[in-house]
Amino acid sequence: MKIYKIQHLHSIYKFYLQDERDSLAIKAFSNDGSTLLDDWKPFHISLFEGKTKKEKSLSEDFNSSCYDDGLLYVSDSISFEVFKGLGEAEILPVLTSDGRDFKYINVINKIPSLKFNSKEELKEMFRSGKYFFDDKSVNGQLIFRDEVLTSTYFVTDAFVSKYGDKFKGISFEEVGEV
């Protein structure tokens, strides 16, 4: 089974950015996979407009955005079609600068998925983008966070096979297998 990391297609699509001065956005950005549902208040995200001609020409025709690890925004239709009832993620409303109906996907499925013997090994996996996963922990999962490396959302090939073609704006980069 292959494991993927969710990434934004920066060379093709514009994306949403959160206001780093907004305490609610910071709470989501620094979240470790804990539930946010009970006291959630939507925060503002802004469409990246770009400064250069190339950046300004990026497509706004996307239904998913993941500029930063752990900050996955999807259109309302994708949130309903993919994540509603999944149980591994919370669907939380956000306010977009362009008035589109997008949701923040908070992955709450946190498991001991990575195999490493030291913090140096973990740092090297993060730097290289090649991770070693525990097959017992990852088996049967669709989308998850590691209990130590909580900022990154990982998906399995089962998720990509079932839902991958529904996303426009993000890609799934293979980062390991079990």
Please state, in angstroms and rounded to a whole number, the distance separating the CA atoms of residues 169 and 16.
11
Structural domain including 56 reads: 2-177
Domain count for the chain: 1
Query: Contact 17/45 with Cβ under 8 angstroms?
Result: yes
Please state, in angstroms and rounded to a whole number, the distance separating the CA atoms of residues 94 and 25.
10
For residue 125, give both structure tokens: 């996996």
At residue 23 the predicted structure's pLDDT band, cuts being 50, 70 and 90, is confident
Query: Contact 155/6 with Cβ under 8 angstroms?
Result: yes
pLDDT digits (tens, 9 = 90+) for 122-155: 999 999 999 999 999 999 999 999 999 998 999 9
39 against 100, higher pLDDT: 100
